[in-house]
Amino acid sequence: MQQYLQNKKGLVQNVFDQVYDQYDLMNDFMSLGAHRLWKKSLINMMNPSSNQKLIDVACGTGDIAKLFLDHVNKSSHITCVDPNKGMISKAKEKLDEFKNLKWIIASAEKLPLKNNSFDIYTISFGLRNTKNLDFTLREAYRVLKPGGRFLCLEFSKIQNLGLNFIYKNYSKLIPFVGGLVVGKKEPYEYLLKSIDEFVNQEELLDLLWKNNFKKCNYRNLSGGIVSIHSGWKI
């Protein structure tokens, strides 16, 4: 486990190199399928229209892009960004029917895109894996158009002690099952550690304000297992 804690950028890349092929399956197991409902809640909160341009950062295997396109009847343009080639490859396979997608392999901290380009920026279960939260949020602000919206879906801090006890004990099973599914438990040990060490809801809200976003707020889902943070570029 020690080698996973030395360099976060290399660590995260190493983790997702090992799990991308079974990523969707493990998401279902880790959340008991709830991640699908959480992502739909993100889209409902966004309420996108077909004339809006979306950038989905840490796009993974393309779930947010698919839900977005379904909501706008497949007529909008989306730029999907992820630092992992394997994730991008899986996403392309899943979304092969859609032609209005642009794929970019890049980190959230350094997007190879112009200023003021997008109406909506989303990052789902990826913010905690970035190397520098401030750099990531500044980049999000930079690429959004004036009037654009930032939305982050991320694991958070559970508010209820009883639910937290149940969740913590359930989480202990995840590395074991990860070992059975992909043959290695270390990536899932890292994922749990990244959740445990990530900032809480109020701390992330403060970071949004600090990085010039306005009208910032958040909504807890499933008792705070995850939350959706929102901010506007005004």
For each of the chain's 234 residues, which pLDDT tens digit applies? Answer: 334 334 555 556 666 666 666 777 777 877 888 999 999 999 999 999 989 999 999 999 999 999 999 999 887 899 999 999 999 999 999 999 988 899 999 999 999 999 999 999 999 999 999 989 999 999 999 999 999 999 999 999 998 999 999 988 888 888 887 777 767 788 788 888 899 999 999 999 999 999 999 999 999 999 999 999 999 999
The total of other beta-carbon atoms located within 10 Å of residue 222's CB is: 17
Residues 43-63: tens digit of each pLDDT:
999 999 989 999 999 999 999
* Residue whose entry in the numeric block shows the structure tokens 């943070």: 229
Token duo for residue 175: 């590395």
Domains by residue range for the chain, with CATH? 2-232 (3.40.50.150)
Q: What is the pLDDT of residue 7?
A: 53
H or E segment and range at residue 88: helix 85-94
Beta-carbon contacts of 160 under 8 Å, excluding residues fewer than 6 positions away, are 223, 224
Strand stretches in the chain, DSSP E: 53-57, 77-82, 101-105, 118-124, 144-155, 214-221, 226-232
H or E segment and range at residue 32: none
Token duo for residue 103: 């794929």
pTM for the complete prediction? 0.90
Q: What is the pLDDT of residue 3?
A: 43
Q: What is the pLDDT of residue 26?
A: 73
CA 177 vs. chain centroid, Å, equals: 22
- Spatial separation of the C-alpha atoms in residues 195 and 54, rounded to whole Å: 26
